[in-house]
């Protein structure tokens, strides 16, 4: 029985991102397209986001222009592709507090946000370090911190300390401290019984090679950039693998352009991908239409 649908929605992209940024050691190996995405989980009476992207204004706009991010679309436009309004989102599971994952809380006025406590406490610790440690202090802008505090005041921010099973029915949070960031987390969605589980990896894995190895040799490769330990990244990858019966296809790296080659997908009128990871029993596909011959085909 499938309780939850999962879609990965592209909301912007960098057409030519250095491969070394996503795959440790891939120096001088050219560039790849880097999609910016968030995920939607829908089922059991809940509409859930995994991360919320960033807002194309103020700091977000400056960064987007500086780093060549193009084709940004707001959540209202992007979520409409799967028939959802931002106001319907009741829960946001934040993988980490980098601005492109946590920078648009204001577009989700009715959601409760879950983030690892350590993401903030360790960051605050780093903030008080001398200037030579400034690199550790990056990735959050003052506005994001203020908006997080506003969420806390409104009672819509939940700081999670470690793993949390059943944050919602059959959805679990797993802490990944000292990895990509101080307090990253990944999300497991369990559909029904047995091994039908999916993991949304946040930035703990950018591309398939991080999980499957280069040339699919099974040797984990850490992401190209992390403020934490590469060892912890690899151990976390192994933990993710164990949680999905060591089926790498069930670990979803949301920055992976080739998701569209593995899962049903289509391109929106805005030129952005919609990837359907799994579909609940009572849900209609948002990427595939029934053809007259009852075969399935992509809408794109």
Partner 1 sequence: MNGAKTFHVDSQWMTGDFDSKYLVEMQIDFHELKRSMQSLSGVLMLVQFKTMTEATQLLTVLKETGNWLAETLEHLSQVSHRGRLEDFRRVCVNVCMNLQSVHRELVEWVQQKSVAAKHQAIHKLLMRLQYAHQQLRRAASFSPAFEMVSLNTSCACAHQ
Among 109, 124, 249, 296, binds partner 1 (CB under 8 A): 124
Please name the residues in contact with 100: beta carbons below 8 A apart, sequence gap of 6 or more. 36, 53, 54
Out of 11, 114, 206, 208, the only residue in the binding site for partner 1 (CB under 8 A) is 206
Minimum gap (Å) between residue 248 Cβ and partner 1: 20
Cβ 260 to partner 1 shortest distance, Å? 19
How is residue 111 annotated by DSSP?
Answer: P
21 binds partner 1 (CB under 8 A): yes
100 makes contact with partner 1 (CB under 8 A): yes
Measured from the CB of residue 144, what is the shortest distance to partner 1 in angstroms? 9
Restricted to residues 175-194, the positions that interact with partner 1 (CB under 8 A) are 180-181
Question: Which of 266, 261, 270 shows the shortest CA–CA distance to 11?
Answer: 270
* C-alpha 48, offset from chain centre: 12
Out of 2, 121, 229, 230, name the contact with partner 1 by CB under 8 A: 121
Smallest CA-to-CA distance from 210 within 25, 18, 41 is with 25
Q: Are 188 and 176 in contact (CB under 8 A)?
A: no
Determine if 78 is a binding residue for partner 1 (CB under 8 A).
no
Verify binding: residue 81, partner 1, rule CB under 8 A: no
Which residues make beta-bridge pairs with 221? none
How far apart (Å, rounded) are the C-alpha atoms in residues 280 and 265? 16
Q: What CA–CA distance (Å, rounded) separates 203 from 183?
A: 12
Q: Could you count the other beta carbons within 10 Å of the beta carbon of residue 237?
A: 25
User: Which of 180, 261, 207 is closest to 26 using CA atoms?
Assistant: 207
**Which of 42, 250, 255, 266 is the binder for partner 1 (CB under 8 A)?**
255
Bridge partners (DSSP) listed for residue 41: 6, 48
CB 113 within 8 A of CB 74: no
- Length, in residues, of the chain: 300
Q: Nearer Cβ to partner 1, position 174 or 182?
A: 182
Considering only the stretches 62-70, 237-245, 257-265, 271-279, report the one whose residues sit in contact with partner 1 under the rule CB under 8 A: 62-70
Q: Which residue matches tokens 């703990």?
A: 204
Rounded to a whole number of angstroms, the minimum distance from the CB of residue 40 to partner 1 is 19
Among 27, 29, 44, 67, binds partner 1 (CB under 8 A): 67
**CA separation, residue 32 to residues 20, 29, 59, 202 (Å):** 10, 9, 25, 18
- By CB under 8 A, residue 200 contacts partner 1: no
Q: Which of 25, 27, 29, 62 binds partner 1 (CB under 8 A)?
A: 62
142 touches partner 1 by CB under 8 A: yes
Binding residues for partner 1, rule: CB under 8 A, are 14, 17, 21-22, 34, 36, 58-59, 62-63, 67-69, 98-101, 117, 120-121, 123-125, 127-128, 134-143, 145-146, 148-150, 152-153, 157, 159, 161, 180-181, 203, 206, 223-227, 255
């Amino acid at each position: 029985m499938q309780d939850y649908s999962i879609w990965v929605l592209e909301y912007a992209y960098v057409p030519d991102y250095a491969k070394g940024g996503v795959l440790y050691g891939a120096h001088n190996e050219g560039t790849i397209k880097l999609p910016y995405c968030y995920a939607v989980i829908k089922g059991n009476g809940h509409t859930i986001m995994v991360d919320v992207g960033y807002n194309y204004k103020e700091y977000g706009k400056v960064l987007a222009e500086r780093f060549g991010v193009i084709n940004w679309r707001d959540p209202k436009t992007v979520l409409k592709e799967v028939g959802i309004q931002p106001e319907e989102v009741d829960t946001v599971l934040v993988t980490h507090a980098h601005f492109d994952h946590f920078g648009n809380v204001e577009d989700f006025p009715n959601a409760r946000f879950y983030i690892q406590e350590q993401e903030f406490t360790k960051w605050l610790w780093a903030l008080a370090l001398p200037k030579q440690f400034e690199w550790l202090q990056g990735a959050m802008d003052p506005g994001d911190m203020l908006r997080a505090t506003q969420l806390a005041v409104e009672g819509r921010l939940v700081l999670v300390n470690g793993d949390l099973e059943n944050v919602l029915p059959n959805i679990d949070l797993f802490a990944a401290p000292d990895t990509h960031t101080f307090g990253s987390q990944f999300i497991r969605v369990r559909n029904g019984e047995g091994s039908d589980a999916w993991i949304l990896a946040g930035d703990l894995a950018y591309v398939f090679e991080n999980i499957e190895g280069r040339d699919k040799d099974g040797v984990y490769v850490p992401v190209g950039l992390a403020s934490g330990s590469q060892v912890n990244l690899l151990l976390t990858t192994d933990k993710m693998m164990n949680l999905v019966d060591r089926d790498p296809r069930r670990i979803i790296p949301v920055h992976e352009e080739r998701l569209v080659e593995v899962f049903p997908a289509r391109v929106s009128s805005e030129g952005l991908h919609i990837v359907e990871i799994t579909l609940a029993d009572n849900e209609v596909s948002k990427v595939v239409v029934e053809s007259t011959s009852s075969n399935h085909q992509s809408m794109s």
